[in-house]
Chain A
Amino acid sequence: MAGDHKDTAFAREPTRDSDGSRPRVRIQDAVKSFAGRVVVDVDDLTLGTHPIEGLIGPNGAGKTTLLRMIMHSISLDRGTVTLSSDGDGSEVVLSDLPAHRMARHGVVKTNQVITDFEKLTILDSLLLSVAKATDEWPYRIYREQGLYEDTVEGILWYLDRFEFEDPLGFAKSAGEKKLLDIIRCLLLKPRVLLLDEPTAGLPDDIRDQLMGLIDEKAAEENMAVVIVEHDLHVIWTMSDYVHFMAEGRVLLQGEPRSIREHDTVIEKYLGSGHV
């Protein structure tokens, strides 16, 4: 829980101003039910107005379901999800698109549960991430070397910073798989990065290094980052803005300090001993 941690490498002073050119995801009138029980019911929520935003709430609040609705990996009962950017004036209705088109529009999500390609090595996995659809046609059977030469620099950039036991072999530990999942997403050069419990299973030093990198990318590459995380230290230290969810609804939004000290958050999530 927050407060148990010492200061870490990625800790910094929040809060940064929003940037109008940063891509934003707007969720409107979005509802999702499972077996008659409403899991998410969001009237109007915009993510990405700040570089890094936290999405917190108790278990079952609907955070992961909301992220999966954005990614269209589960369908919406009703409502729309829109990606817009003042920078280029574009607007895309994500909820009308199939799930695999999200990454092409720069909306990428890491996985809450550790998940990997069991038959692919670490390097395989990273090359898969950077390969374009045109590299993967059935007739492009001589493309591998060209793809490797075109992308190896970007891949090595990550492999130099984050140590894997054997990059040409398979990811072995849960930590390596978690890290690989996040690097795969970063290699996609996302415009909106949804991190679903990114630090679970990671050693502290790797966690700090990774979060520091994400912080840098959010600032330098104009990337919008949304973090769902139960390690609240990560939320309080990284986020510029926090959304609080409970029972499928977004109940509060604001700067980390105000959310942390809000009675509703203390009552429904943190407990009185937290502050």
Chain B
Amino acid sequence: MNLDWLDAFLVSGLFYVMMVIGLALLLHLQLGLARIANFGVVGFWGIGMYAFGVLFVKVDWPFGEVWAFLISVVFGTVVAGLAGLLVGWLIADLDIDGVLVGTLGFATAVWILATTEQDLTGGALGMGGLGFPYDIGSVKANETLWLVILTILVAIILYYVSRVHKSPYGRLLISIGDNEPLARSLGKAPFQTKLWLFAVSSAGMGLLGAMYGVNERFLETGNLGIDITLAAMVGLVLGSTTRMWGAAVGVALTVGLFDVVIQFYLPLPREWYTQAIPVLREMVFGGVLIIVLLFRPYGVLGDMRRDKLMRRMHGG
């Protein structure tokens, strides 16, 4: 397949945008519906990425690489889910401050572990040896196919989230986020609900992390900073924390605009890319977050409209 028309940087940029949309969608379930402000997104994403990478690279698999790859992806996803279960258990009964500190602390713990553990992760030096589970030709072709696979995965996440909105489970999440004591008085179990929510959404974040690791072919602890969490959080808040499309619209307007349009299409000086742009990006994202919270707290798309949804589902 001739992909000369496609720029490798654009593929890489779109991969990042798509991945952040996936993370923001999962964060939407936590923050938008159940009102749990998870500031440790990168921790779950990173633990999935490293668990996958370590198993895939360090284990001498007796069978074919594709199977080793799939088992490692499942392992990374499950480990991230279990981490979500553990963190969920720790923070489920805490107030907003406690959740903030707990999730940030978890993300920091993952970063420290990945940095200081030399044998498994390669520490600060990083770890190579990852690759695509297929080879269809050029690097660009492989990366493009991986982007397509990621896009399908994010579309599945989007579909799942849209079904959650229309399901009793979504209603349960909203009720717990809205008025937990009242939900409890109706026999709902907030603790277990949050636990499962964290397990499922963290597993999804871990899977996205593993996919990112494959795309990069090299794991480095520099990826485990605040960037990923901030990108997902800012995108979601800008779009709308409570509406499903808020994640896609918000991330497109922030990460998409900055990491693809501005960096790819604007003729910026080459030396800016190493130092100035990453710093400027975090500043812009932080500024957007403050401005949105001050002037449009429900985001560009506004608050969720359960009345419209109920009329559509049960109004006939």
* A135 at interface by CB-CB < 8 Å: yes
Of B167, B171, B179, B184, which one neighbours A100 at CB under 8 angstroms? Answer: B184
Residues on the A chain within 8 Å of B185, using CB: 71, 73, 99-100, 102-103, 108-109, 111
Contact A128–B186 (Cβ < 8 Å):
yes
Interface of B is mostly: helix
Given A119-B306, A170-B307, are A138 and B174 neighbors across the interface (CB < 8 Å)?
A: no
* C-alpha spacing A46/B177, complex, angstroms: 36
Given A141-B160, A142-B163, are A100 and B310 neighbors across the interface (CB < 8 Å)?
A: no
Contact A184–B186 (Cβ < 8 Å):
yes
Given A108-B185, A120-B178, A121-B310, are A100 and B169 neighbors across the interface (CB < 8 Å)?
A: no
Which of B18-26, B61-69, B188-196, B205-213 sits within the interface? B188-196
Of A104, A111, A141, which one neighbours B187 at CB under 8 angstroms? Answer: A104
Contact B307–A100 (Cβ < 8 Å):
no
Of A104, A144, A168, A184, which one neighbours B167 at CB under 8 angstroms? Answer: A144
* A25 at interface by CB-CB < 8 Å: no
Interface residues of A in 116-156 (CB under 8 A from B): 116-121, 123-124, 127-129, 131, 133, 135-138, 140-145, 147-148
Known contacts A100-B188, A123-B314, A168-B310, then 20 further A-B pairs from the complex at CB < 8 Å, ordered by chain A residue: A99-B181, A99-B185, A100-B187, A103-B185, A108-B185, A116-B179, A117-B178, A119-B303, A119-B304, A124-B310, A128-B168, A136-B188, A138-B164, A138-B169, A141-B160, A147-B168, A168-B307, A184-B186, A188-B186, A188-B187
> Which residues of B approach A to under 8 Å, CB–CB?
160, 163-164, 166-169, 171-172, 174-175, 177-179, 181-190, 193, 196-197, 200, 242, 303-304, 306-307, 310-311, 313-315
> Which residues of A approach B to under 8 Å, CB–CB?
71, 73, 98-104, 108-109, 111, 115-121, 123-124, 127-129, 131, 133, 135-138, 140-145, 147-148, 166, 168-170, 184, 188
